[in-house]
Structure 1
Amino acid sequence: MHLVLTSRILGILLMIFSLAMLPPILVALIYGDGGVKSFGIAFGINVIAGFMLWYPARRHRKELSVRDGFMVTLMFWLVLALFGAFPLMLSDHPGLSFTDAFFESLSGLTTTGATVIVGLDDLPHSILFYRQQLQWLGGMGIIVLAVAILPMLGIGGMQLYRAETPGPMKDSKLTPRITETAKALWYIYLSLTISCAVGYWLAGMSAFDAICHSFATVAIGGFSTHDASIGYFDSQAIELICVFFMIVSAINFSLHFLSWRRNTLIYYWKDPETRFFLAILFGAVLVTGLTLAATRAYPESVAWSRALFEVVSVATTTGFGIDDFSNWPSYLPFLLFSMAFMGGCAGSTGGGMKVIRILLVIKQGLREIRRLLHPSAVIPIKIGRKPVPDRVIEAVWGFFSVYIITFIGLQIMLLMTGLDMVTAWSAVGACINNLGPGLGEVAANYGEINDAAKWILSAAMLLGRLEIFTVLVLFIPDFWER
């Protein structure tokens, strides 16, 4: 493994990331909120640290190995979260501690949306904009990671598509074609963001709120500029626009790429993962709406709008809210929260285990049941009309097993810090699935839990965002052997 090469790449990334401090400075100047100093200092720290990492290794030119790729991928999020925390610490308001600032920064970059800040309505505009910008940058980073980096490393949900899908998934390494594909994805991501912002603005949001919420919507992040989240606006038009863009952003971006390149929407209908995802959403909205109406929790018309928004928000792991679903009657809080474990489609900005994995686990379970009746039968598992290799099925089961073991381990660690069972279970679920809001003490925010729990949950956010194996591989002794 080439540590010097890793240092060079991280230095370049950090210097590029320093540019993220400039838009909040502009916002601070426009609104006169006093944020220029804190973001200016943070800009300087990022540039100097990046230069110090890059300069000694500037002449080091070698091709990235697979091990280098794992290290760079992990350090990318850790280093940017660390240096992204400086404005949150340096600003008088909110003036977070190092632990809280790192938690907030990592939550933004991983598009988790779990916040430790209370009183968003009173924060400086520059800080509000910066939080939303972190999520937007993290969301695009996830797309490039899923389409370009993880396939090169041989991991990730996009591996499931490589054998049968045209486009970027067929490439097994970074090539000029992947570079062009990544560029096209940037255009698509930016176009969705602009469209979402315009929609919000036309529906009644201020220009500032429209831009900020479009960042979090397309990134499936869930940060808001108001404590009441989307519920602050009390507008069905805004809620419907939000629902549309949350669903679009939770669909595999390779389908957006193919549809954009070939000017047809047929790929969405042909994709089994997308059809399964939309069917699950429809079923959950139906069940939730009927339950809310039957229990008279809301008037019938309100019940269905609440059901639609909250189901889509939680299932896509966005985490926006127009109501506190943790107080809903009967089994609904558990039902909605459990949907986040599935999350969005592979190659989207959504979190969770990914729809394609859940679909394959179900198909594998059904195959085992059929084998009880026909022990000698050869029963292939198919996605669409194409059989899925057994190696892929094994990888999915391996991921599922490690996910469950990791989840249980993190939950036990949280219980050891003194959190109650419901809070510990939901906090791990919300962070490892990059959802944000949980149940119990973390239903509104994470500000009141202890620092040890915040560091454990930071690890959960990173594990979930990088699909677990990318992080755990660094703890295998073989990784460090020459």
Structure 2
Amino acid sequence: MRYRVILRILGILLMVFSITMLPPVVVSFLYDDGHDFAFIGAFAITLATGFVIWLPVYRVREDLRTRDGFLVTVLFWVVLGLFGSIPLMISESPHLTVVDAVFESLSGLTTTGATVITGIDSLPKSILFYRQQLQWLGGMGIIVLAVAILPMLGIGGMQLYRAETPGPVKDSKLTPRITETAKALWYIYLSLTIVCGLGFWLAGMTPFDAICHSFSTVAIGGFSTHDASIGYFDSAVIEAICVFFMVVSSVNFGLHFFAWRQRSLLHYFEDPEFKFYLGILSTIILVTLFSLIATSTYGPVESFRKSVFMVVSVATTTGFATADFAHWPAMLPFMLFIAAFAGGCAASTGGGMKVIRILLILKQGYREILRLVHPNAVIPVKVGNKPISDKVLEAVWGFFSVYLLVFVVMLIALLGTGLDQITAWSAVGATLNNLGPGLGEVSTHYGELNDTAKWILCLAMLMGRLEVFTLLVLFTPAFWRR
């Protein structure tokens, strides 16, 4: 393990992250909310810490190995969550405790959207902006941004990219150079954010709300500047814009890259994962719509509006709300919550296990059924026209097994803290899938949970963001063995 190069990278990344404390200072001055000191103090602390870590090893010039990349990724997300909590702790409003501030910071950076804060409408503008900014930075992964910077500093970045990128196949790159890949992803991400913000503004949001909600929409985050979330605006146009960008942002960014490069949209509908994803969303929307109308929960038009928005919001793991789906009739709350386990597509800003894994699991299951009928047949599993190797299928099944095992262990741990079954089950699912809102006591916020439960859920958010294995690999003796 090359600890000196790891420390150098960590110091550089902390110093870069400290710069993100400055935009809220500008917002504080513009709105004169008196909270600029919290961000100036956090900037100074973060910058100084990064400099102290970097200074003794600034001359180190070594390439990262795969194991180093995993350690840097995990360390940076943990450290980032801790330093990102500083403004929330030292500001007068909301002035959170350590555990609450770390929970809120990690929730933002991992784009989970679970909050411990109530009375969001009354928070200072700079704090509101900062929460949304955390989600935007975490959306594509700050590590990917760092990949674009590190090569300029003489440090290879492919190991970081492989540790950070979601999905079962991590070796593919959109462009020959990893730096160009990271830049391409960020250009697409930034462009979507700008267009989304303009759409919200033209639809009636204030410029501040439009910018803030574009951050959390494209990041699939779910934080809002209002307690009532998107429901605050009560606008069908705003909801439609939000639905469109939630779907777009939960689709593989590789498809967006090829759409931009080839000036064509046809490849979207040739992608098996995308078609399967649209099928899942459409089916759940129709079931939800029928159930809401059949139970007279809303009128037909309102049922359509609520079902489309809430299904897309929950299934993409965004977590925005225009209705309290936890109190919907019949099986709807459970069905929507289960949809979040699939989450978004691979290489998107969505959470969950990723749609491609669910598709492969279903295809593998269907192959096993066929083998019962034709024991000696050679039946390949294909995605589109491409056969999938048994190595990839084994990795998918391994991920699925470990994901469920982690879920069960954390569920038991939460039950041990005294939470009821519905709250514990949904809290683990909502944080591990980076969804945000849950059921029971966490349907609106997590502020009433005990501190032990919050620390457990912080770990769940990290594991979900890093897709479990990136974090678990650090706890294996083989990882540390020379």
TM bucket (normalised to shorter chain) is over 0.9
Distance 1:152 1:12, change over 3 A: closer
In the alignment, the residues of structure 1 paired with residue 356 and residue 165 of structure 2 have an alpha-carbon distance, to the nearest angstrom, of 11
Matched position secondary structure for 2:177: helix
CA deviation string 1:342-375 (max 9, x = no partner): 0000000000000000000000000001100111
Alignment of 1:160 onto 2:169: yes
In the alignment, the residues of structure 1 paired with residue 331 and residue 167 of structure 2 have an alpha-carbon distance, to the nearest angstrom, of 33
Task: Give 1:423 deviation, angstroms.
Answer: 0.3
Alignment of 1:93 onto 2:64: no
Q: 2:193: which partner in 1?
A: 193
CA deviation string 1:388-418 (max 9, x = no partner): 0000000000000000100000000000000
The one-letter code matched in structure 2 to 1:379 is I
Contact 1:343 1:354 (8 Å CA) reproduced:
yes
Matched position secondary structure for 1:33: coil
Task: Give 1:159 deviation, angstroms.
Answer: 4.3
Q: 1:182: which partner in 2?
A: 182
Q: 1:306: which partner in 2?
A: 306
The one-letter code matched in structure 2 to 1:303 is S
Matched position secondary structure for 1:371: helix
The one-letter code matched in structure 2 to 1:435 is L
In the alignment, the residues of structure 2 paired with residue 57 and residue 68 of structure 1 have an alpha-carbon distance, to the nearest angstrom, of 16
Alignment of 1:32-47 (within 5 A): 32-47=32-47
Q: 1:81: which partner in 2?
A: 81
Contact 1:151 1:158 (8 Å CA) reproduced:
no
Alignment of 1:279 onto 2:279: yes
Distance 1:155 1:227, change over 3 A: closer
Identity between Structure 1 and Structure 2 (%)? 63
In the alignment, the residues of structure 1 paired with residue 416 and residue 377 of structure 2 have an alpha-carbon distance, to the nearest angstrom, of 48
Matched position secondary structure for 1:239: helix
In the alignment, the residues of structure 2 paired with residue 83 and residue 473 of structure 1 have an alpha-carbon distance, to the nearest angstrom, of 24
Distance 1:155 1:449, change over 3 A: closer
Q: 1:453: which partner in 2?
A: 453
In the alignment, the residues of structure 2 paired with residue 138 and residue 149 of structure 1 have an alpha-carbon distance, to the nearest angstrom, of 19
Q: 2:290: which partner in 1?
A: 290
CA deviation string 1:300-343 (max 9, x = no partner): 10001100000000000000000100000000000000000000
The one-letter code matched in structure 2 to 1:223 is F
Contact 1:151 1:159 (8 Å CA) reproduced:
no
In the alignment, the residues of structure 2 paired with residue 358 and residue 150 of structure 1 have an alpha-carbon distance, to the nearest angstrom, of 26
Contact 2:158 2:178 (8 Å CA) reproduced:
no
The one-letter code matched in structure 1 to 2:169 is L
Matched position secondary structure for 2:140: helix
Task: Give 1:151 deviation, angstroms.
Answer: 8.4
Gaps of 5+ in 2: 148-156
In the alignment, the residues of structure 2 paired with residue 298 and residue 232 of structure 1 have an alpha-carbon distance, to the nearest angstrom, of 18
Task: Give 1:160 deviation, angstroms.
Answer: 3.0
Distance 1:146 1:420, change over 3 A: farther
In the alignment, the residues of structure 2 paired with residue 351 and residue 217 of structure 1 have an alpha-carbon distance, to the nearest angstrom, of 13
Task: Give 1:60 deviation, angstroms.
Answer: 1.1
Q: 2:15: which partner in 1?
A: 15
Contact 1:423 1:441 (8 Å CA) reproduced:
yes
In the alignment, the residues of structure 2 paired with residue 299 and residue 127 of structure 1 have an alpha-carbon distance, to the nearest angstrom, of 38
Task: Give 1:145 deviation, angstroms.
Answer: 8.3
Q: How many residues align?
A: 473
Alignment TM-score, normalising by the size of structure 1: 0.96
In the alignment, the residues of structure 2 paired with residue 348 and residue 406 of structure 1 have an alpha-carbon distance, to the nearest angstrom, of 23
Task: Give 1:146 deviation, angstroms.
Answer: 13
CA deviation string 1:432-474 (max 9, x = no partner): 0000000000000000000000000000000011000000000
Task: Give 1:167 deviation, angstroms.
Answer: 2.7
In the alignment, the residues of structure 1 paired with residue 174 and residue 34 of structure 2 have an alpha-carbon distance, to the nearest angstrom, of 47
Distance 1:162 1:40, change over 3 A: closer
Alignment of 1:360-399 (within 5 A): 360-399=360-399
Gaps of 5+ in 1: 169-175
Contact 2:143 2:164 (8 Å CA) reproduced:
no
Q: 1:406: which partner in 2?
A: 406
Task: Give 1:153 deviation, angstroms.
Answer: 4.3
CA deviation string 1:138-182 (max 9, x = no partner): 01216838997578647964443757xx734xxxxxxx7121121
Contact 2:381 2:388 (8 Å CA) reproduced:
yes
Task: Give 1:261 deviation, angstroms.
Answer: 1.1
Task: Give 1:210 deviation, angstroms.
Answer: 0.2
Task: Give 1:186 deviation, angstroms.
Answer: 1.0
Alignment of 1:206 onto 2:215: no
Alignment of 1:260-271 (within 5 A): 260-271=260-271
Matched position secondary structure for 2:21: helix
Q: 2:471: which partner in 1?
A: 471
